[in-house]
Amino acid sequence: MAYETLIVEQHGAVTLVTLNRPKALNALNAQVLADLEAAFAAFEADAGQGCLVLTGSEKAFAAGADIKEMQPQGFAEMYGPDKFAGYDRMLRATSKPWIAAVSGYALGGGCELAMMADYILAADTAKFGQPEITLGTAPGMGGSQRLTRAVGKAKAMQMCLTGRMMGAEEAERAGLVAEIVPAAKLIETALAQAATIAGLGPLAVKANKELVNAAFETSLSEGVRFERRMFFGLAASQDKQEGMAAFIEKRKPSWTGK
């Protein structure tokens, strides 16, 4: 399928989605969201695809929501159609993992989109920020919440209140990104990590994603209880028998997703 604002390619069991509005530094408008929702739905529905990488250009992952689209919009134009609620729908509907591979600017909605990923891989050129305050507004796609959980109150508050950007090294130190790689190696590294994930047992992959995400929504004791129950559930899967048998027999496991 062809998309107006995305380039979508399959690399084996990995879907690579590239934001493609170079003249607007990949600013997120209604068309980008519609395209992303469709591309993620296609990825989720395709049993042959196990992990997705979302990236932008060398200069910008995404420089935010499209300011030119938003400038004339008031309460009715946003609250009426519940502008950008599609990102929540997209997240809820995606049970398979996806990685944000960020090079250059990830600002405002761009930073928020990257933080929706299961993890962020950053080029050494990456710059993260929530500069909405400089436009007279505030984050609206989870930035104040996810950034605070990722880097803590002090840095999140400072970034939201001043609009300053955080470079890749600071972002890694603060826990916002999993790893920094040279910009020229970003896509190659992201695809390799995604291929590793896609090559593992799909039930275990889904369970691990669900478990880590549960840590953000539950108390510690409830989370640990949920984890133990999930572990028991996985014990009933063929893939768990196969994984352990393969270890004992010193061979590669053959996953069935059952």
Binding to ligand DAK (CB under 6 A) within 137-156 occurs at: 140-141
Looking at this protein, which amino acid is placed at residue 206? K
* CA–CA dist 225, 103 (Å, integer): 38
Residue 132 is among the residues annotated as catalytic for this protein: yes
| DSSP summary character for residue 133 | G
Cβ neighbors of 254 (< 8 A, separation 6 or more) are 242, 246
Q: Which stretches does DSSP call E strand in 56-204?
A: 60-62, 98-102, 105-107, 119-123, 127-129, 166-167, 179-181
Our finding on whether 131 is near ligand DAK (CB under 6 A) is: yes
Q: How far is the CB of 37 from ligand DAK (least distance, A)?
A: 15
3-state secondary structure at position 224: helix
Tell me which of 15, 51, 66, 180 binds ligand DAK, using CB under 6 A.
66
Q: Which residue has the tokens 């470079």?
A: 167
Q: How far is the CB of 110 from ligand DAK (least distance, A)?
A: 7
The DSSP secondary structure of 167-204, one letter per residue, reads EHHHHHHHTS-SEEE-GGGHHHHHHHHHHHHHTS-HHH
Q: How far is the CB of 185 from ligand DAK (least distance, A)?
A: 23
Tell me which of 1, 2, 47, 68 binds ligand DAK, using CB under 6 A.
68
* Cβ atoms of 255 and 198 closer than 8 Å: no
Q: Which residues pair with 190 in a beta bridge?
A: none
Tell me which of 50, 56, 64, 201 binds ligand DAK, using CB under 6 A.
64
Q: How far is the CB of 24 from ligand DAK (least distance, A)?
A: 4
| Per-residue contact string for residues 17-56; x = within reach of ligand DAK by CB under 6 A | -------xx-x-----------------------------
Q: Name the residue nearer to ligand DAK (CB basis): 38 or 135.
A: 135
Residue 41 is among the residues annotated as catalytic for this protein: no
Q: Active-site residues: which are they?
A: 65, 109, 112, 132
Residues that bind ligand DAK (CB under 6 A): 24-25, 27, 63-68, 70, 78, 83-84, 105, 107-109, 131-132, 135, 140-141
